[in-house]
Amino acid sequence: MKNLNILVLVSGGGTNLQALIDAEKSGAQIAGVKIAAVVSDRPDVYALERAGAAGIPAFVETPNRSLPKPERRKELSDRILALCRQMQIGLIVYAGFLSILTDEIINEYCGRMINIHPALLPKFGGHGMYGINVHRAVLAAGEKESGCTVHIVDAGTDTGPILLQRKVPVLVADTPELLAGRVLEQEHFAIVEGVKIIAQRLSD
C-alpha cells in the first residue's frame, strides 16, 4: 500500500481515533497509512489528548459563530481544506465529528472521505441521529439487533455508499448506554477496516 496521509476529524472522546492510532502503531492492519493530523471543531476534548500522546499534530478549528450558518460552514470547510492540501491528505475520516462541511470539500474528497455511524444505516441515520439519540431510537423501535456503519461521505447526512457494517444483538435489559457501549466496541474494528478498504482502493 503506497503512503497515505489521513486526517481524522473529531469532536469528543476520540476512541475511534485511538483505534486508528493503535492500528497504525501495530503496523499490521493499515500498513502505509499515516495519521498526518487531527482536527477538532471544539477545544478541550479528550481526542486532542490522545493525538498529543501519539505525537500527532492536532488542530482546534472551531466554527466562527459570529458568521451566519452558511458562511460559517464555508469558512470552517475552507480552513480544513487548506490544511488538507498543505499536508497532502489522501483520506479524511470523520470520527465523531459533529460539524457539517461544504459540498466543495466533499466533492474534492469524493470517495476519499468516510464516516462511522453508530447504527445499521440506512436506518437510524440523518438529522439529529447522533450520540445517545441513536441508541434511544433503536430501543424505542424494538430492534433485535443494532451495530455500526462505515460509509462514504456524500452531500447528505449519513447517506453515502456503505463500505461495511458490524452488528451487535440488542438485549432485553439494554439501556441506551449499554447498547452504545456494545456498538462502540465494534466501531473500533469497523473504523480500521474502513480505512483499510479505502487505502486498498487508492493503491490499486
Catalogue the active-site residues: 117
* 32: number of Cβ within 10 Å: 14
Site track 156-185 with ligand GRF (rule: CB under 6 A), x = hit:
----------------------------x-
Q: Kindly give the residue spans of alpha helices, DSSP state H, lying in the chain.
A: 15-26, 46-53, 69-86, 103-108, 132-140, 176-203
Q: Does 126 bind ligand GRF (CB under 6 A)?
A: no
Phi, psi of 82 (to 5 degrees): -60, -40
3-state secondary structure of 158: coil
Binding residue for ligand GRF (CB under 6 A) from 41, 158, 174, 187?
A: 187
* Contact stretch for ligand GRF (CB under 6 A) within 74-82, 105-113, 116-124, 196-204: 116-124
Taking the complex as a whole, how short is the minimal distance between the CB of residue 66 and ligand GRF, in angstroms? 27
Residue 161: count of CB within 10 angstroms of its CB: 9
Backbone angles phi, psi at 14, to 5 degrees: 80, 25
Interface with ligand GRF, residue 116, by CB under 6 A: yes
By the rule CB under 6 A, 13 interacts with ligand GRF:
yes
Minimum CB distance to ligand GRF, residue 200 (Å): 22
- Beta bridge pairs of residue 93: 8, 114
Closest CA to 46 of 147, 38, 107: 38
From candidates 63, 90, 118, 147, binder to ligand GRF by CB under 6 A:
118
Q: With binding defined as CB under 6 A, does residue 39 bind ligand GRF? A: no
Q: Which residues contact 111 (CB under 8 A, 6 or more apart)?
A: 152, 198, 201
Written as nine digits, the cell of 45 is 476534548
Binding to ligand GRF in span 46-105, by CB under 6 A: 47, 95-96
Binding residue for ligand GRF, selected from 6, 14, 93, 194, defined by CB under 6 A? 14
Which residue ranges make up the site for ligand GRF (CB under 6 A)? 10, 12-17, 47, 95-96, 116-118, 148, 184, 187
